Structure 1
Amino acid sequence: MQKEYTVTVYTEDRIGITNRICVIFTRRGINITSLTTAETEIPGVYKFIITVISEKEKLVKIVGQIERLIEIHRAFVHEEDEVVYQELALYKISTKALQNGNIELLIRENNARILTITEDYFVLEKTGHQQELIDLQAKLAPYGLIEYSKSGRVAIIKWSRRFHDHLKELEQQRPDNLKQATYSEHTEVSAEEESI
C-alpha cells in the first residue's frame, strides 16, 4: 500500500551527491515530495530528509541502492510515527487585512506570528505539519493572500542517538584523509550504479 514515508540519508559533503540520490528515486518512478539537507552535529556529515509517497518494500530496495554510493554512511526508511517533524510556511498578506479584527484572532488561533509589516503587506510565519499549513493558507485567502511559500520537512528520528554515536566512533577510528582518498578513486559513477 502506498503512503508517505520519510527517508533519511547520512552522507559526506560531496558535489553532485544530491543529484545521484535523486536519480535513484527517478529511475524507480518515485516522485520526491520534499527534500531538505543540512549538516549534522558531526562536522562533515550531512543529513538528507526526503519525503515520498510509495510502498515500503520498494523504498527498502532504494535505500539499499543509495547505501552503495561511496559517499553514503547510512540510509533509513521511517514510518510517520518514527519521526518528530515539522515544516515551515511563510504567508505574505495585504496590510489592508489588519483593518479586519478577525485576522488577528485567526493568527492567534493558528499559533502563527507576524515576522514583518510594511505599508503594502505583512508576513506571517507558521510551523506545523503539512496539512495545518495548507489549511491556514485557505483561511488566509479571503484576507488578500499575496504569496505563500513552504519548506520541506525537517525531522528528528526518535532513535537516531544510537546512529549518531556510531558516526562519532567511525570518525575517531579513521584517518581524516581516508574518506577523501576513497572518494577520489570513485568519482565516476560505476556501471553498477548506472544500471540502478
Structure 2
Amino acid sequence: MNRQFTITIFSENHSGLLNRITIIFTRRKMNIESITTAKSEIPGIHRYNIVVEATQDQVEKVVGQIDKQVEVIRAYLSQDDEIIHREVALYKVLNRPGAREKLEKVVDSHGAKIIRDEKDYFAVELCSREGEIDILLKDLQPFGVCEFARSGRVAVTKAMDHMNDYLLALEDECSC
C-alpha cells in the first residue's frame, strides 16, 4: 500500500548529484511530490528533503541506491509521524476596495500574515503543513488569488539523532 515518505539526504555539494538522484526515481517510475535542498548546519554539506508516495519496500530500495552515490554521506527515510515538517507558502491576493478587513480575518484565522500591502495586491505568508496551506488557498480564492508559490517540505526528525555530531565526526576523519 502506498504511503507518504520523506527521504532525507546529506551530501557534499557537487554538480550533477541532484540529476543522478532524480534519475533513480525515474528508473523506478516513482514520482517526486516535493523536493527541497539547501545548505545544512555543517559547512560544505547539503540537505535534501524528498517527499514520495510509494510502498515501504519501493522507498527502501531507492534509499539504498541513493546511499551508494559517492557524494552522499547518508540517506534515510521517515514517515510523517517520525518528523516535524512544514512548508512556506506565499499568496498574492488582489487589493480590492473594502476587502482588507475581511482578508485580515481570513488570514488571521489561519495563522498567516500579510507581509506586503501594495496598491494592487496583498502578499500573504503562511508557514504550516500541506493541508493548511491548501485550505488557505481555497479560502483566499474569493478575494482573487493572482499568484501562489510553496516551498516544498522541510523537515527534521523528532528523535534526537545528533546528525550534526555524526557529520562533524566524518568531517574530522576526512581532514586527517
TM-score of the two chains, using structure 2 as the length reference? 0.95
Matched ranges for 1:26-175 at <5 A: 26-96=26-96, 98-99=98-99, 101-159=101-159, 161-175=161-175
* 1:6-51 per-position Cα deviation (integer Å, ceiling 9, x unaligned): 0001111000110010100110011001100111111111110000
Higher strand proportion, which one? 2
| Other-structure match for 1:184 | none
CA 169–100 in structure 1, closer or farther in 2 if over 3 Å, else same: closer
* 1:107-132 per-position Cα deviation (integer Å, ceiling 9, x unaligned): 11111111111111110000111111
TM-score of the two chains, using structure 1 as the length reference? 0.86
Question: How far is the alpha carbon of 1:160 from its aligned partner?
Answer: 5.5
SS of 1:173's partner is helix
* Distance in 1 separating the partners of 2:40 and 2:160: 12
List gaps (5 residues or longer) in structure 1.
Answer: 177-196
CA 45–117 in structure 1, closer or farther in 2 if over 3 Å, else same: same
The RMSD of aligned alpha carbons is 1.4
* Distance in 1 separating the partners of 2:38 and 2:8: 12
| Other-structure match for 1:13 | 13
| Other-structure match for 2:2 | 2
What amino acid sits opposite 1:14 in the alignment?
H
* Distance in 2 separating the partners of 1:114 and 1:100: 10
* Distance in 2 separating the partners of 1:111 and 1:68: 42
* 1:106-165 per-position Cα deviation (integer Å, ceiling 9, x unaligned): 111111111111111110000111111011111110111111111110111123633321
What amino acid sits opposite 1:154 in the alignment?
V
SS of 1:43's partner is coil
CA 162–99 in structure 1, closer or farther in 2 if over 3 Å, else same: closer
CA 140–174 in structure 1, closer or farther in 2 if over 3 Å, else same: same
* Distance in 2 separating the partners of 1:59 and 1:49: 14
How many correspondences in the alignment? 176
* Distance in 2 separating the partners of 1:158 and 1:125: 25
Higher helix proportion, which one? 1
Identical aligned pairs, as a percentage? 36
* Distance in 2 separating the partners of 1:109 and 1:98: 19
Q: Which moved more, 1:165-174 or 1:153-162?
A: 153-162
CA 87–76 in structure 1, closer or farther in 2 if over 3 Å, else same: same
SS of 1:159's partner is coil
Contact 1:85 1:129 in 2 (8 A): yes
